[in-house]
A and B are shown apart, each in its own frame.
Chain A
Amino acid sequence: MNIGFITAAADRRLLDERRGTRAMMWIMAIMLFLTALAAALGLATLAATTLLDRQLVGRLTVQIVEPSAPARTAQTAAALAALRRAPGVRNAVEVDRDRLATLLRPWLGADGADPDLPIPAMIDVDLASGSAAAVAAVSAAVTRAAPSARVDRHESWMSPVSSFMRLVTWLTAGLVALIAGATAAVVILAARASLETHRETIEVMHMLGSTDMQIARLFQRRIALDTLLGGALGTVLAVVVTAAMGARLAALGSDLLDGLSLGQRDWAVLAMLPFAFALLATVAARYAVLGALRKIL
């Protein structure tokens, strides 16, 4: 009797494969489909959160809110000069008037381009560090040079979005853990039911001198195989659905939703799920079978 994971054909025949309709495989397909979908969403929100954080940390917008155009121009120049002198500022660029008019067009229409409209001047600032101390130092330098300046951290604008994304990531991680737990429970129940189905064969094997481990390996091999096959089917379906959803998101052209995409490493994680669940099922089946056999002499 082979003692490895891959058992000999003769050993595989010991458990009547016709008994039961391999329902386990289909249950595992559904489990892995749900797990892979939850994992894909979690990985996508994790990627989006990471991207958002990377884009927002150390990014500032300085607004010069001054109704008088000459004063606004003077304060903008002073603020730019102060920013370029300040340590820790990687880049400071004024947003040109045409770009501002374009941004305002959805709200003001063509009037946004009116040169007499007192639109605040804006400066995009990139800091080397996004720490609160660095931001405070730059803000102080700017407001000294330009009293009408207001400093907005992009991070504070987008932090609710980022927090929500993190929440979704944790939620999906919880879902994956829950499904993994449910899968282990299903495997344990299936293993016990299978033990009952094959009770006579097991009794005979015990009388012939089979060890508990030899019997457990027969069951865990079968359950692992069902999990692997069903899991592969469920994961492939989930990958197809995820790819289709990704294509739909990409078509929306949203900068924010564009971050919800999966990288090569994420796809690899999804591909590993059936193997991880097969391992989980193997351990759960072994635990269940050995536990049940210990009650028999």
Chain B
Amino acid sequence: MANIVQFENVGLRYGTGAETLSDVSFTLSSGAFYFLTGTSGAGKTSLLKLLYLAQRPTRGGIRLFGEDAVTLPRARLPGFRRRIGVVFQDFRLVPHLSAYDNIALPLRVSGVAESDIDAPVREMLAWVGLDQRIDAKPPTLSGGEQQRVAIARAVIGRPEILVADEPTGNVDPDMAERLLHLFDSLNRLGTTVVVATHDFHLLGRIPDAHMMRLDKGRLLDPTGSLRFPPPGEAA
């Protein structure tokens, strides 16, 4: 499988503080499923921000879709971002838009004609089991429903990479399993999936998933070749 993401000695520092990420190097293969684990404050969200181009590294190199993402001109960022779907822990839905309009947003941003939007949006709503909540606005949806809308929004544009930051952090265990199933089914369609989580119960649910562990800003397994459970913890 081709490499879709490559980090080389990446460091990230906010302001003048200590490095949040240090010497992070790894590659992500196209079409693979990755878990990014680590305790709170390990740097998972910072790494994901670099991945979905919300942040530039302080040092090191990042190649995304075969291009240098560090020196990528600002004007080209939107085109790259449209190839990446992002699911946030806090959903980040637009509160005054309906579930339908929230899911349709990436298509509208990409300039898809209104006549070509309805069918895929309804298909997505059905896929995440929210076809009965089409006009509901986020504040009237439960946490699990909001997360499913956020997932539908992240994948409707058929992204090449799906990045999810603690997607199960605000939902009950049953809903967490259902969400993970959605990621898995999307991965089977060829999308590279990166899920950041500290919920070790989820890691064994995707047998083929690779695991990357962050500790104090450093990647413990740069190859991403670990499987759950890690060899040292198998016993």
Q: A interface vs B, CB < 8 Å?
A: 1, 3, 8, 10-11, 13-14, 16, 18, 200-201, 203-211, 214, 294, 297
Contact = CB atoms under 8 A, between A and B. Distances in A.
Contacts of B101: 10, 13
Which of the four size classes fits the interface of chain B? 20 to 34
Contacts of A211: 75, 78
Contacts of B111: 1, 3
B46 to A, nearest CB: 14
B201 interface: no
Nearest to B150: A204
Contact of A209 (B78, B93, B95): B78
Given A208-B81, A208-B82, A211-B78, A10 B108 contact: yes
Contacts of A14: 94, 97, 105
B56 A297 contact: yes
A32 B26 CA distance: 60
Given A205-B105, A208-B157, 19 more contacts: A1-B111, A10-B101, A11-B108, A13-B96, A13-B101, A16-B95, A18-B96, A204-B105, A206-B78, A208-B82, A208-B106, A209-B80, A209-B81, A210-B78, A211-B75, A211-B78, A297-B53, A297-B55, A297-B74
A209 B101 CA distance: 16
A261 B106 CA distance: 56
A13 B81 contact: no
Contacts of B78: 206, 209-211
A13 B100 CA distance: 12
Interface string B52-92: 11111000000000000000001101111110001000001
Contacts of B80: 209
A200 B97 CA distance: 13
25 contacts: A1-B108, A1-B110, A3-B111, A8-B114, A11-B108, A13-B101, A14-B94, A14-B97, A16-B95, A18-B96, A200-B92, A200-B94, A201-B94, A207-B81, A207-B86, A208-B81, A208-B82, A208-B109, A208-B153, A209-B81, A209-B106, A211-B75, A214-B109, A294-B74, A297-B77
B109 A16 contact: no
A294 B110 CA distance: 20
B104 interface: yes
Contacts, number: 65
7 shortest interchain CB distances as A-B pairs: A209-B82, A209-B81, A16-B96, A209-B78, A1-B108, A211-B78, A208-B106
A140 to B, nearest CB: 75
Contacts of B86: 207
B168 to A, nearest CB: 20
Given A8-B114, A207-B86, A13 B109 contact: no
B17 to A, nearest CB: 19
Contacts of A204: 92-94, 105
A56 B141 CA distance: 79
B109 A210 contact: yes
Contacts of B81: 206-209
Contacts of B79: 209
B67 to A, nearest CB: 16
Contact of B114 (A10, A206, A208, A210): A10
A13 B97 contact: yes
Given A8-B114, A297-B55, A297-B74, A209 B96 contact: no
Contacts of B95: 16
A10 B107 CA distance: 12
Nearest to A294: B74
Contacts of A294: 74
Q: Give the most central of A3, A13, A201, A208: most B CB within 10 Å.
A: A208
Interface in B35-54: 52-54
